[in-house]
Structure 1
Amino acid sequence: MSVGCRVVRGPDWTYGNQDGGEGHLGTVVEIGKPGSTNLPEKTAAVIWDSGGRGTYRAGQNGAYDLRIFDNATTGVNHPNIVCGSCGQPVIHGMRWHCTVCTDSHLCTVCYMADKHDLTHPFRRFDTASSEGEAVPKREGCTEIQAKGIFPGAKVVKGPDWEWEDQDCGIGNIGQVTSVGCWARGLTSVRSAVKVKWSSGSTYGYRVGHEGKVDLVYIEEESGGSYYKDHLPVLDHTAEVAPSSGIPREFKVGEKVKVELGKDRFQSMQEGHGAWNPRMASYIGKIGTVHDVSTQGDVIVRYEGLTRWWLHPETLTKVYRMNVTTLRSL
């Protein structure tokens, strides 16, 4: 599992309509770590499309509160495997392989849209390296309507909003026009949406990319149906997907920032430029890649000519979004 996964309630759900009701989507924004006092191991924090946040079991005490609706948002893809229905040359997210027509593969969107023969059983591959999990034929299986931030939904700024007054001011409402990729060249697809605001301006926002949630809905929309028992549970022991489609190679001039907590940031700096207490004040600030050392550490320049040598894994690339870089599906 990874931050950014889009999830729905799972087999051990016991939280009423905290998610907005069965079928409503959320985004995994944090994963529990051993020894953490904030988020226990084998749990995950989710922000629901409606704006609520909760902590749920991902194997804790043998319980699984969530299912993965889509992991394409985390960069999972299956290179050189073509979807037999939509023809996409790369299958993003889970791959579905027909066990009858062995040369037939479907992407999640087509599988859930009832493409191919419903009487044929499939195997689900959660990542490119998965061994595959057998699932029954879709005919006669329970379908659930997916609901949340889909085209047509009315939205307002959410917890990770950092786009100033693009929404034309507090309380302004926008309408989702399409779902797509956060920026060109990334493998994390279906991780962002275009929104048209009352001013007529249209911009793109993160809904899953790197676990960020820029929007919440005030009026949900349907995103088709899904076969709930065919989806994998969110499991702490599952293969860890890449956290995003962003490569960890950095180029001079790129914009970056640290999004870790202070303790995690400090521990990762050991052996990578060391730790200075002043570094904590730069968490969340945008800097510019000045150089990359022969050991791979990144030298980041901030305003005022301050430079830090930072572990590359502490950094997130910053993409300034505009409507032209959001690829519609």
Structure 2
Amino acid sequence: MQCGMEEMQYWHQRARDEAFELLKRQHLQGKGMRTVFLLDSSESMAGEGFRQMKRSFLDIINEIADHREEDENVAVLCFGQEVKFLHYLSNDYESIRKCIDRIECRGSSPMEAAFLLSTSCFLNISSLLHVKDIVPTARTILITDGRPTDPININKPEPALVSENPFSMFITRLRATVTTSAMLGPVLFIPVGSDPNKNLLEFISNEAKGVTVVHHRAVQQVGRFSKNMSITSQLLRYKSPKEITAADIKSAVFQHSSYVTDRDIEDILETLGNQNVSSSKTMSDIVTDMNNIDEMFTERYSDMPSIGTRVKRGPDWKWGNQDSMGPGTVVGHSTVGWLFVEWDSGRTCNYRYGNDGQIAKYDLIECDEPRILLYHQQIATGCLVSSGPDWKWDDQDGGEENIGTVYRVQQEVIYVKWPHGVRSNYRFGYQNKFDVRIRDPLNPSVIERLCFQRSTEFKNSIPCEQNQNESSQASMSNTIEGHETAIPENVRRQWQWRDPVGRWNNYSDEINEKIEACYRRNRDSTVVIQFKGHIHRIILQQRKHVDTITKLTTDIRVCTGN
């Protein structure tokens, strides 16, 4: 793991990436407040610590589930050997209950990174309601043994007695990070384990406003928080905080639910008595460059792959399995040398492409691997579309035969880039209207049309002096044992591939026609075919045939047919 400012920037960027992922999953979320669990999955949590954490987590989730009318959203992150989401924001409490069973207690305890990543859940919190800036609409719950790891000394946990060095650089930074989270809503610390470091948790709690330590045996009340805040919101519709009495609260509680505790009333009184429980500040104020999510889907630089371009990991890739070992689609340009990609697995992240002003790195390369929908998907980023039955947008698509690429999906509305550069949004199910229809990327006519579009785009974009070379390339040629030989137009060409033992084999008539059609349009194009159960790419310029699954590569050639 990196350290210092570079590490902070990394986790802030991760938070932005996850925020885009959460944005795409809005349809899976409820309309209530947001609760984010940070679960310590480090090695020191094994045994009693994990058992207490699981019990506390399930007690809170079960209580939340008992008040489904509040429609509370819950997300779960773990931090240990990995810092990652176990469950994105959702009101599917049954699924949320199960996610803790995937935890394995290993590695160090990067608590600071977990808090930084958790901010992704609040990047759009400005869309939620803050009733008179009093009632919080979000909270963070940390369950830990209180032994975070300093990223600078990753193998050395902080000492149990914080008083030995309460203002170390790491503790100061961790306290500041927690304070930032508390600006968005309450932060709860739940110490667990046979010997939790309560000194550290209590120290941060005392120093950071809005942070509370809760005993793991008293967590059931934590699950009632959303219900109590809902009651508080109702009270504030009719009276100011100073006018509300305990009798008013008790009456509202009984109207809301037949089950009430003294602690419920205390929670409501505490909220009403603290005008600053929820600040009017949102994550949008803190991360100002994220005010407008639409800025992500912007094409800024002509020297980077355009929106809709298909890509895969490149020579400088260092991002683990973020791409799920598959292709993705460029959905926007970030800053100089960085672009956004949505992988076919659904994840959206930011990657280096070119020189960012300091160094040139290429995490990605362009590819022609098509977007293949899963059985449950109707449409997705990277799909090919053309005008559909309810099209009413004149020539936005550049012509009725043109095929565009989907680069953004929002429930029943999609965004498409057309081959002549126009980008716009279209209905795909909205009010039962379909402006576009999906095209099969393996259909011969679709492949031929794409080859034509790419050839046209290429000719329109290259300098004039290079266009002059086209006449010298007008005659088609074949490659036999590395030699170029002209073939008359009226003679059938047969494309062949070389097998592992060196024998040349004819492609089927159907595939041969696909290759030939693309070659006639643009001799430097790439052909996508279905071959022996896999999707393959034929790179005409390089005379190569690539299996996109196994990555095995072989030579191809063209010769005169019989």
Q: Same fold (TM over 0.5)?
A: no
TM-score under structure 2 normalisation? 0.19
TM-score under structure 1 normalisation? 0.28
Higher relative contact order (CA 8 A, sep 6+): 1
Higher share in strand: 1
Q: Which has the larger radius of gyration?
A: 2
Higher share in helix: 2
